Amino acid sequence: MSDKTMNTVDTSRRNILKGGAAAAVVTLAPGVTLRTVEAAVTGPATSAKRWGMLIDANAPEGVWDLAVEACKTEQGWGPEANKSGKANDSTDPQWIRKVSVKDPKTGAKATLPVMCQHCANPPCVDVCPTGASMKREDGIVLVDKHICIGCRYCMMACPYSCRSFVHEDVKGQKPHMPRGKGTVEACTMCVHRVDKGQKPACVEALNKAGSDAIMFGDLNDPNSDISRAVSQYVTQRIRADLGVDPGVHYRGI
Amino acid sequence: MAADTTVYKEIEGKGGDYYSLIIWLGLMVLGGLGSMYYMEHNGHVVTGMTNGIVWGTPHVFAVFLIVAASGALNIASIASVFGKYHYKPLARLSAMTALALLAGGLMVLVLDLGRPDRLIIAMTHYNFKSIFAWNIILYNGFFVIVLAYLWMMMERRMQPHSSKVGLFAFVWRLILTTGTGSIFGFLVARPGYDAAIMAPMFISLSFAFGLAIFILIINVAYRASDRPLGDLILFKMRNLLGVFIAAALYFTVAQHITNLYAAEHSGVEAFILMDGGIYTFLFWVVQIGLGSLFPLALLFNPATGRSCQGIAVAAILVIIGGLAQMYIIIIGGQAFPMPLFPGMEVSSSFFDGAVHPYAPSLPEVGLGLSGMAAALLIIAIAVKFLPLLPTSLSDAKVDPHHKAEEA
């Protein structure tokens, strides 16, 4: 990817951070582009919304691999994105991962995906010295990579180990998701898609495969599918005892 | 307070020993800068740090030095805040040591950042809910206050006011170490941290680490410059070091006893105290045995406690034990898996439910040691160009009544 494209990317990302706008790039002639910033379909991020997810841990285990792969493809992370071409298990970022849980007393098992839980009281945002870790009004927790100094205190603080540090040079970055060696990154709940009225990539991938194991929507809207579902079933949130009020609910743990 | 009649003088600093010390320390600092370049150029993938152990060996050294820095100021505080005149002649070096150790620690911390080039952002963007952000203010404030304190002690016209600034510096350093301990105390999700005792424990550790380093510096400086160093001041510092080691041990015991009482913390306690491998070894053998009990025995045994070497060995052991304790707290605290689903067995591709492996890499150790070298280099250069060291610390100089009593 050329530096010029990277500059374009930066601008669009800033607008995403401000809350709900997307950039369009029109090529007028070779090398001449016109950039316009259009308002997001969903309007500016407001606290009237609380984006959240409901994950059904009873879904067949295979669907979670689809979700992980969809996230990698959409956001451009994973061992394939290392410039070195080498995979490093302990340092490669994992924005979403498949976790197996087993009750040692009963032998009951479940497999579920874990990603940034988009807490209402996010410890990563509390501890970040520069304010790079931030929560949008609509509950989406992001890292402003322009002011992340790479101290990793947010990774120390996250109760879910959901943040990754970019340990080496990366390649194949997506225009909507610039990544940088030396900064921290995590699931953005596909904010670039959500602001255009679309679903996160993992949700869409499962829907395409005929699964609704991950439901996405506005938890503040009593008429949304997700609100109806969480009011109908008893759901759990991981480490709810910490009081961080995650935006991701689970069923069947 | 009686006027300070102590004569302070720069050390000559001309011999081959002095220059070889400077060269060795300089090379170590260069080695650290080289490590930093290597780490930043290739990314942290070349270190032992991972997404599970996000803070590694550089942080062990950095936190140790920062904690020791506030402790090194204690000698000056004892003189100016608590009015113990025996320590007054050492106050200038105490303040200088505090500044140097903090500079060394911060150097390591900053050079390990993913983006050290963005240091200016850390200085201009503050999230006031972050204890890290507060620490940036506390560290910068410490430099300003201790520099002012040092200047007031050295500038004759300002000396009458120095004790007021000394009191302010003392309060500031207590808050600073509280902030450093709270970096860990405020981490709600990790069972090894999340404890209010971290703050006072770090204060007690700072007393011991800072004094141990200070005793060694005094020993080396006076021996190398052929200036008299009497037993009186040395034995006073020895007793103080013994008390500080005991205080640090007390907080360590209280921390673990409290955790052992709570069933939810039994996992992390079993990890550190029984089956944590390197962490268990470091705890019992290095931190408790070599770093606490053995130095206490050396200091209070009449045979070793009355010898310069015995006290120096005890001080070295306190430093080694302190580094081990930082390693256990910082790296052991991360190595133990966070309970994603308490009471359940958890596994994943991201080390959930498993102990995070960690092995320090050479560049990390090089960067950490360079912080220590930088601190010592600053002190070595400062004592050559500034009148920080009294020409004599003989018993008669330290306490005019001492000789009279003997006569």
What ipTM did this prediction achieve?
0.93
Q: How far apart are CA B73 and CA B217, in angstroms?
A: 13
| CB neighbour list of residue B27: distance below 8 Å, 6 or more residues apart | none
Q: Give the whole-angstrom CA distance, residue B340 versus residue B399.
A: 60
The pLDDT value given to residue B133:
96
Q: How many residues does chain A have?
A: 253
CB-based contact B378:B99 (threshold 8 Å): yes
Residues 6 or more apart whose CB falls under 8 angstroms from that of B99 comprise: B69, B143, B146, B147, B150, B378
Q: Cβ–Cβ contacts within 10 Å for residue A31, how many?
A: 7
CB contact, 8 Å: A169 with chain B? yes
Residue B186 in any domain: the answer is: no
The 8-class DSSP code of residue B395 comes to H
Tell me if B114 and A156 make a contact (CB, 8 A cut-off).
no
Confidence check: pLDDT of A18 > 80: no
For residues A154 and A124, is the Cβ–Cβ distance under 8 A? Answer: yes
**Domain span at B254:** 8-179+192-340+352-401
Indicate whether A3 pLDDT > 50: no
> What does pLDDT average to over chain B?
94
Tell which residue, B362, B401, B319, B407, has the closest CA to residue B86. B401
CATH of the domain at B113: 1.20.1630.10
Contact at CB, B357 and A130, closer than 8 angstroms: no
Band of pLDDT at residue A14, cut at 50, 70 and 90 = low
Chain A residues within an 8 Å CB radius of B43: 166-169, 181-182
Contact A239 B189 (CB under 8 A): yes
Query: Of B21, B8, B46, which is closest to residue B367 (Cα–Cα)?
Result: B46
Asked if pLDDT for residue B347 goes beyond 50, the answer is yes
At A7 the pLDDT is 46
Judge: A156–B113 Cβ closer than 8 Å, yes or no.
no
Which of A42-46, B98-102, B318-322, B326-330 is predicted least confidently?
Answer: A42-46
Indicate if the pLDDT at residue B337 is higher than 80.
yes
Per the domain annotation, does B331 fall within a domain?
yes
Domain assignment present for B3: no
List the structure tokens of B129: 């809910």
pLDDT of residue B245: 98
In a domain, B115, yes or no: yes
Close Cβ partners of A207 (under 8 Å, ≥ 6 residues apart)? A199
Domains: count for chain B = 1
What pLDDT does residue A25 have?
60
Kindly state whether A170 is in contact with chain B, defined as any CB-CB distance less than 8 angstroms: no
Name the E strands within B94-144.
Answer: none
Alpha carbons within 13 A on the beta-carbon side of B6? 28
**Which residues have a Cβ under 8 Å from the Cβ of A106 and sit 6 or more positions away?**
none
Task: Count Cβ atoms below 10 Å from residue B33 Cβ, excluding itself.
Answer: 16
Q: How confident is the model at residue A64 (pLDDT cuts 50, 70, 90)?
A: very high
pLDDT of amino acid B13: 87
Measured between beta carbons, which residues in chain B are less than 8 angstroms from residue A161? 51-52, 338, 340, 350-352
Find chain B residues with C-beta within 8 A of A152's C-beta. 54-55, 114
**A234-251 mean pLDDT:** 96
Per the rule left: phi > 0, alpha: psi between -120 and 50, beta: everything else, A250 is beta
Nearest Cα of chain A lies from the Cα of B297 at a distance, in angstroms, of 37
In a domain, B185, yes or no: no
* pLDDT 10s digits, B231-276: 999 999 999 999 999 999 999 999 999 999 999 899 999 999 999 9
A183 contacts chain B (CB < 8 A): yes
| pLDDT at position B1 over 70 | no
Question: Is pLDDT of B116 > 60?
Answer: yes
Partner B contacted by A10 (CB < 8 A): no
Q: Scanning every residue of chain B, which has its alpha carbon at the shortest distance from the alpha carbon of A253?
A: B341
Sign of the torsion angle spanned by Cα atoms B219, B222, B228, B232: negative
Of the candidates A92, A104, A165, the beta carbon closest to that of B54 is on: A165
Whole-number Å distance between alpha carbons of B345 and B142: 46
- Closest to B350 (Cβ–Cβ): which among A129, A150, A161? A161
pLDDT at residue A22 is higher than 60: no
The reported pLDDT for the residue numbered A9 is: 47
Token reading at B168: 């302010």
The shortest CB-CB distance from A152 to any of B55, B118, B344 is to: B55
In the predicted structure, residue B407 carries a pLDDT above the cut 80: no
CB contact under 8 A, A181 and B122: no
The whole-angstrom separation of Cα A8 and Cα A19 is 18
Q: Which chain A residue shows the shortest CA-CA distance from B55? A: A152
- pLDDT, one tens digit per residue, over B157-215 is 998 888 899 999 999 999 999 999 999 999 999 999 999 999 999 999 999 999 999 99
Residues composing chain B: 407
CB neighbours of residue B120 within 10 Å: 9
> Out of A131, A147, A155, whose CB is closest to B54?
A155
pLDDT tens digits, B26-53: 999 999 999 999 999 999 999 999 999 9
- How large a percentage of chain B has pLDDT more than 90? 90
Is there a domain that residue B345 lies in? Answer: no
Name chain A contacts of B113, Cβ cutoff 8 Å.
149-151, 182
Residue B322 · residue B68 · CB < 8 Å: yes
Q: A123 to chain B, minimum CA–CA distance in Å? A: 8
Q: What is the pLDDT of residues B305-317, one digit of tens each?
A: 999 999 999 999 9
* Stretch A95-112: mean pLDDT: 96
A149, A161, A165 ranked by CB distance to B118: nearest: A149
Is the pLDDT at B77 greater than 60, yes or no?
Answer: yes
What residues of A are in contact with residue B350 (Cβ under 8 Å)?
Answer: 94, 97, 99, 161
List of domains in chain A:
45-251 (3.30.70.20)
